[in-house]
Amino acid sequence: MDYKNVSNKTPVGVIGAGSFGTAVANLLAENNPVILYSRRADRANEINKTKTSSGQSLHPRIIATNDIEYICKECFLIFPSVPSQGFREMLREFAPFLRPDHILIHTTKGLDVNLKTSDNILDKTISFEPSEIMTMSQVILQETNVKRIGCMSGPNLAKELAQHQPAATVIASHFDEVISEARNAIKSPRFQVYASHDIFGVELAGVLKNTMAIAAGILNGMGYGQNTMAFMLSRGVREMIVIGTALGADKSAFLGLAGIGDLFATASSPLSRNYTVGYRLAQGESLDYIISTSSEVAEGLKTVNICNHISHQLKLDTPIIKTAYSILFEEMELSEALSYLMNYKSSKDVDYV
């Protein structure tokens, strides 16, 4: 399909036709023609035929393709939206066609880690140094010649975006031009956009909140109420900041939309993949079964493992992270886990500002 037949505007690209990539494509299509990349040709053809992707109806200004060269040639603004475990491989496929004038704004809330002892991030014997942890923007810089990079993060549950419910996000970048281009492309009466120059902090906030979303799902699945949930979430924000600042981030990003805002959304909604993992564990399902029956990746599983490793290496005070790790990877009983937290040596309420 030739975009000259659709619009005179330059199209915006989205890499990844999963639930969130599709939701982002629909948001962008309110202002621009959009090219949605799917790795498989048969799926791209099916998307174009049915005008649906990941259970969502597509805006008429969206077309799908599996042609990497085509999307890179037609679009200078591209939103990569793929899980962290496949992010580097995706970039290596795209790198020969990406130019220095491209702008990449990723939506991936995950981390890239150079493992020493295992290819499986869910293996509890993993080993790495904190300095080997990379955010997706750092991976982009490492694997491509693109310099104008940003990230999109916030309380943006794909299903609610697909229902056109009002929402907001943060576009973070070192470059004002990147923020401006992204805002102009995606802002609408139903989608507010805020700006940040702290891309590292915003990325880490969006990643670390997934650990607490799993813990929240466990509590809800056990039948506990709002007192328990508020206790866990407020202490969880502290642990996010403890880990984030240990890695070099500024704490302010954790207090905005990408941190507390996203945490409130994902820690209270069955639409959240990470919350759902915790809830299903509390209902008695095994982690292996949950993973095998889930259609999309819950980034929080990987992040809990990474954060527990960091906390151990750097001797950080993160009891919720450590307890979540023990539940997920060491088969700690839920009652034992809660007892551990309730009897944990108390500390100052707010020690991170």
**Active-site residue numbers?**
209
Q: Which residue has the tokens 């200078």?
A: 76
Residue 173 to residue 117: CA distance in whole angstroms? 34
Pairing of strands 12-15, 77-80: parallel
Query: Is the separation of the CB atoms in 44 and 64 below 8 Å?
Result: yes
Element (H, E) at 301: helix 299-314
Residue 114 to residue 156: CA distance in whole angstroms? 29
Query: Residue 262: exposed, middle, or buried by beta-carbon count in 10 A (0-12, 13-18, 19+)?
Result: buried
Taking each helix axis from N to C terminus, what angle separates 199-221 and 136-143, rounded to the nearest 10 degrees?
A: 130
Q: 164: how many CB neighbours lie within 10 A of its CB?
A: 14
**Both tokens of residue 268?**
């209270």
The dihedrals phi and psi of 152, each to the nearest 5 degrees, come to -120, 125
Query: Is the separation of the CB atoms in 254 and 246 below 8 Å?
Result: no
Of 73, 68, 67, 63, nearest to 28 by C-alpha is 63
Contacts of 20 (CB under 8 A, 6+ apart): 81, 107, 156, 158
Angle (CA) 300-167-304 rounded to 5° is 10
What is the layout of strands, in order, in the sheet containing 62-65? Answer: 62-65, 34-37, 12-15, 77-80, 103-106, 148-153, 167-173, 191-196
Contacts of 64 (CB under 8 A, 6+ apart): 17, 35, 36, 37, 38, 43, 44, 45, 47, 48, 53
Amino acid present at 139: V
Of 205, 196, 2, 208, nearest to 105 by C-alpha is 196
